[in-house]
Structure 1
Amino acid sequence: MNPITAFGVGCFHLAVRLKPPYRFRPSSYAEIIESLLGKLDTVGRFSVSPSTMASSDELKLGDGALSMLHEGVWLPGYIDAVEFSLRIPRRVQDDIVRAIHGKNYSWTGLGTEHFMVRTRYFYDAPVTIVECLDLDDDECEDPSDAVVVVREFLKQKLKESEADIDLEVVGPSPFHADFFVFDETEEVRPHVEHTETGGYDRVIAYVPPHIRENHADWVLEWMGPKLSFYYHLKRINIWQARQWGDVNRAWHSLNEPAGSETWAGRAKALMKKRRAIASLVDGVLMFQAGMLSRRQRAYSAKENNRSERGLEFLDEKIDRTFEDTFRTYPTAQVLELAKFYETRDSKRRDRVHVLVAALMGGAIGAILSQLLGGT
């Protein structure tokens, strides 16, 4: 028996790029996305649902305020859903895939040029599904490949359009599974069969027989909250990697060459190193505080998210991702090294102070000798 439909999963966001003075009316977000989709010749029917919570007041927002890659941005306050059909010629699909994997990559294609792209803005993060339509055969074997093709195609089209909109993606996009939807023969609780393979997992979702249409959309609403939280953990990974990068840069600044070999140059270098040590310590402490706060909130949300039965395979992925996201960073070791640098440079600073005092004492003595000798 062939599936009703098949799709791949990802995390896409059409992010409006703000310009100074960064004034923006949240309720206009949907209109901007609609205008963009209407200009793309490969987009067919589309619909954009504005958020019921979007303010109609003009607000002054910060740079990156509409980006899901920035911490603290809550996108459901701007938009609820984006849905559009897309045609991608087979030749273009081949070019995209071989540009990624190499020209000799063996690829049989997706069996269609037509796709439906749906993004729902759940509480934690957007979730996107890419559904294969009008298949040559009855089944698309690797629907997750459609996520790759659509992702790269949209990036290319947005670049060509020169619109102030970026396609932001949180990985893995595609999610490492192919999804297939079947009708359940009896009115029972929806459930899945999850099979791990050598490549992407295979997930078969059984939906109740009273669901007669929009099966992929129904599955998205069912699995969406868990997938949303999974991608939220991946967003936290991005934020923490960025913050830890700041710590790394502060660390490397401690090892920059001292510069001038003069005493004045060395004194200046010591002061610069003191500031670098302080910056490093502040960065580590801020990182620790941020990670602790995020972990507490994420743990509570993770446990509350277990209520939906039948999706245990997603709970397992979330548990593994949680542990990876909040893995141990070498913060204690960095603080120890900062302490070592501080102690070592403190001794150097004391030697400089003694030398400067001696030099100043000698200079004052010479001046006094001249003054006294001149009387």
Structure 2
Amino acid sequence: MKAFGIGCLWFGSKCIENEGDVERFDPEEHLAAIQKSLEAIPNLSDLKIDRPENLSIAVSFEAADDDDEIFPVIPNVQIKFKLYLPKRIQDQIFKYRESLTDSEHFEVLIKYGYRAAVAFISYSASVPPTSPADCVVVVRKYLEQQVNKNNKTVDFRTLGPSPFHVDFLFEAAHDGESIDRFRFVDSSRPGTGYGDITVEYNRDRFSSIDAAWVAFTNEMNEQIENYYVAVQCRNAVMSCTYEVEEHLNSLLKLQMDSGLVAFLSRFWKAPSKTRDLMISLLEAERHKLTSTRFLDECRRDGLIKEGSPFSAHTVRRIAEQNDRLPVGQIGEVVRLFEERHLKKLEGGVVLVAGVLGGAVGAIVTLFLGR
């Protein structure tokens, strides 16, 4: 059997700092730089980079962290290699606990689609390991250390969750006639952390476990890629949600403060803060519409598969975040703030007009009295 974990790992370029640099990006030079970086890594062997004849950039992939870096995705590129990581190194990577992969030899396969890159990290096992997903952690962190160390061109990056929160096994089904090619057997227990899923293949359809593995990674790659696109959509909505919360808290603080200074602050600052809140709400709504449209496209193209854990997680990631931000209710709060400010503004105008009218009347009376 094989044990494996899944993640979103890819090689970015440190030469890209803004969208203008993407247009000048050379995929040939980037792949050459990736190869050079990997060949310099100790314990890495059997490196192979499969690529189409004509290279292109499909999309500028944005990372999930705060630096807003842009990373190119080069479609249909496949990077394969083997990595030997002694138990001692694995335990150093985890720091606070030991590694539970039960192996020191890993096979890494990174497949670039059109929107994201998917990594399958696997190894042979005679019995089910304690935690196959740990292999993603040790490989990811080791490559981060090795690739990003003193490298001026290539940047190894990750989009979480990496690992995908499931410990996977891959083996032949005992009742092969009852399945077509592959099936998922979910033995997860609620409340125990990562899920446990065994992928069974029909031994009559494949000459070996390696042949079945190649077919499985090819078939599942797009589903997993869509899951990580859904993660990007969720992250975009989540970022807007945090901004909305910050602006809303700032507005509430303005309303709760008392005194003359607070009154003047409300009068002058409330409009701009309300505008910022509205902009964040509109951005969130835009990202929610993008998420919903993406999900509809997946359904239309038949990429939401019944019984697939990747499809189930894709739907869940988008649904959970889209339901979290009550745009309509917060919009009502914004409307109330604006109405309140307009009333204060109208009252201020009337007061100023009254004061000015009285002053003008007094001046005219004084002038006529002379």
Q: Return the TM-score normalized by structure 2.
A: 0.78
Q: What one-letter code is carried by the residue in structure 2 that aligns with 1:253? A: S
When residues 249 and 266 of structure 1 are mapped into structure 2, their CA distance, relative to the original with a 3 A threshold, is same
Cα offsets for 1:290-318 (capped at 9, x unmatched): 31243023123134335868x54444444
Q: Distance in 2 between matches of 1:193 and 1:78?
A: 28
Q: Contact (CA 8 Å) 2:74, 2:113: kept in 1 or not?
A: no
Q: What one-letter code is carried by the residue in structure 1 that aligns with 2:26? A: R
Cα offsets for 1:179-223 (capped at 9, x unmatched): 333346878731224122234212132153334645433321122
Q: Contact (CA 8 Å) 1:26, 1:78: kept in 2 or not?
A: no
Q: Distance in 2 between matches of 1:79 and 1:357?
A: 70
- Provide the residue aligned with 2:35 in structure 1: 34
- Provide the residue aligned with 2:110 in structure 1: 119
Q: Distance in 1 between matches of 2:152 and 2:254?
A: 44
**1:354 matches 2:355:** no
- Provide the residue aligned with 2:122 in structure 1: 131
Which stretch of the first structure deviates more once superposed, 188-197 or 311-320? 311-320
Cα offsets for 1:301-337 (capped at 9, x unmatched): 134335868x544444444344324325211111111
Unaligned runs of 5+ in 2: none
**1:342 matches 2:338:** yes
Q: Contact (CA 8 Å) 1:33, 1:48: kept in 2 or not?
A: no
When residues 337 and 66 of structure 1 are mapped into structure 2, their CA distance, relative to the original with a 3 A threshold, is closer
- Provide the residue aligned with 1:151 in structure 2: 140
- Provide the residue aligned with 1:221 in structure 2: 218
Q: Distance in 1 between matches of 2:206 and 2:76?
A: 31
- Provide the residue aligned with 1:90 in structure 2: 87
Q: Distance in 2 between matches of 1:369 and 1:38?
A: 94
Select 1:168's aligned residue among 148, 154, 157: 157
- Provide the residue aligned with 1:19 in structure 2: 17
Q: Distance in 2 between matches of 1:149 and 1:292?
A: 37
- Provide the residue aligned with 1:61 in structure 2: none
When residues 33 and 182 of structure 1 are mapped into structure 2, their CA distance, relative to the original with a 3 A threshold, is same
When residues 193 and 252 of structure 1 are mapped into structure 2, their CA distance, relative to the original with a 3 A threshold, is closer
- Provide the residue aligned with 1:67 in structure 2: 62
When residues 165 and 229 of structure 1 are mapped into structure 2, their CA distance, relative to the original with a 3 A threshold, is same
When residues 78 and 121 of structure 1 are mapped into structure 2, their CA distance, relative to the original with a 3 A threshold, is closer
Q: Contact (CA 8 Å) 2:274, 2:338: kept in 1 or not?
A: yes
SS in 2 for 1:160: coil
- Provide the residue aligned with 2:199 in structure 1: 204
Q: Distance in 2 between matches of 1:243 and 1:216?
A: 40
State the 1:340 CA deviation: 1.6
Cα offsets for 1:131-174 (capped at 9, x unmatched): 125x6x66544321111211222233344334454433333322
Q: Distance in 1 between matches of 2:56 and 2:113?
A: 18
Q: Distance in 1 between matches of 2:4 and 2:133?
A: 7
Q: Contact (CA 8 Å) 2:234, 2:321: kept in 1 or not?
A: yes
Which stretch of the first structure deviates more once superposed, 292-301 or 330-339? 292-301
Q: Distance in 2 between matches of 1:214 and 1:145?
A: 24
Q: Distance in 2 between matches of 1:51 and 1:237?
A: 31
When residues 30 and 143 of structure 1 are mapped into structure 2, their CA distance, relative to the original with a 3 A threshold, is same
Q: Contact (CA 8 Å) 1:122, 1:225: kept in 2 or not?
A: yes
When residues 193 and 275 of structure 1 are mapped into structure 2, their CA distance, relative to the original with a 3 A threshold, is closer
When residues 165 and 260 of structure 1 are mapped into structure 2, their CA distance, relative to the original with a 3 A threshold, is farther
Structure 1 vs Structure 2: percent identity of aligned residues?
Answer: 21
Give the paired residue count.
353
SS in 1 for 2:77: strand
Q: Contact (CA 8 Å) 1:179, 1:205: kept in 2 or not?
A: no
SS in 2 for 1:82: strand
Q: What one-letter code is carried by the residue in structure 1 that aligns with 2:196? A: D
Select 1:242's aligned residue among 234, 239, 243: 239
RMSD: 3.7
Q: Return the TM-score normalized by structure 1.
A: 0.78
Q: Contact (CA 8 Å) 2:113, 2:225: kept in 1 or not?
A: yes
Q: How does 1:46-61 map to 2 (within 5 A)?
A: 46-50=47-51, 54-55=55-56
Q: Distance in 2 between matches of 1:194 and 1:201?
A: 9
- Provide the residue aligned with 2:131 in structure 1: 142
